[in-house]
Amino acid sequence: MTIDHNDQVIALNGSNIGYDADNPWKNGAAPDSALRANGVGLTQLEGAQADAFKDWFELSGKGHGPVKAGFIFIANNANDARKETQLLEDEKTGLDGIDPGKDLPKGLSTDPESGAAKNKKG
């Protein structure tokens, strides 16, 4: 996600930052790093970018969206950020992948030849 606020362009690290799609980890969970903890992207900001982000964060938290939902948050240091991400570990964003063998809506099945979902009636 990129934020353009107060003449600053801020790129927030997402959960897949630094993730090598050609080398997937078990269950799609990438390992923790300086840029990611518990499946949450971490971004460190300083100076004018930090000031602009804090202003944007305060404004954005007043309406519906990822700030109000707690998916974008501010932590004072890396340890606090890692503690906060542990609270989000089991949260569902609605953007998670599905297992076609068990998560398809009622009435759909997986085509054994292509792997694509299809209506059970046809």
Write out pLDDT tens, residues 3-37. 899 999 999 887 776 666 666 554 556 667 777 77
Based on the fold, state whether residues 40 and 65 are members of the same structural domain. yes
Based on the fold, state whether residues 117 and 85 are members of the same structural domain. no
Q: How many structural domains is the chain composed of?
A: 2
Q: Is 72 exposed, middle or buried (0-12, 13-18, 19+ CB in 10 A)?
A: buried
Based on the fold, state whether residues 101 and 85 are members of the same structural domain. no
Based on the fold, state whether residues 63 and 119 are members of the same structural domain. no
Based on the fold, state whether residues 38 and 83 are members of the same structural domain. yes
The tens digit of pLDDT for each residue in 47-59 reads 999 999 999 999 8
Based on the fold, state whether residues 82 and 113 are members of the same structural domain. no
The tens digit of pLDDT for each residue in 76-92 reads 888 888 888 887 766 65
**98, 110 contact by CB (below 8 A):** no
Higher pLDDT residue, 90 or 115?
A: 90
Residue 116 pLDDT exceeds 50:
yes
Measured CA to CA, the distance from residue 42 to residue 69 in angstroms comes to 17
Residue 100 pLDDT exceeds 90:
no
Instruction: Identify residue 75 by its one-letter amino acid code.
Output: A
Whole-number pLDDT of residue 13: 84
Higher pLDDT residue, 121 or 91?
A: 91
Residue 111 pLDDT exceeds 70:
no
Based on the fold, state whether residues 72 and 13 are members of the same structural domain. yes
* Domain membership of residue 110 as a residue range: 97-122
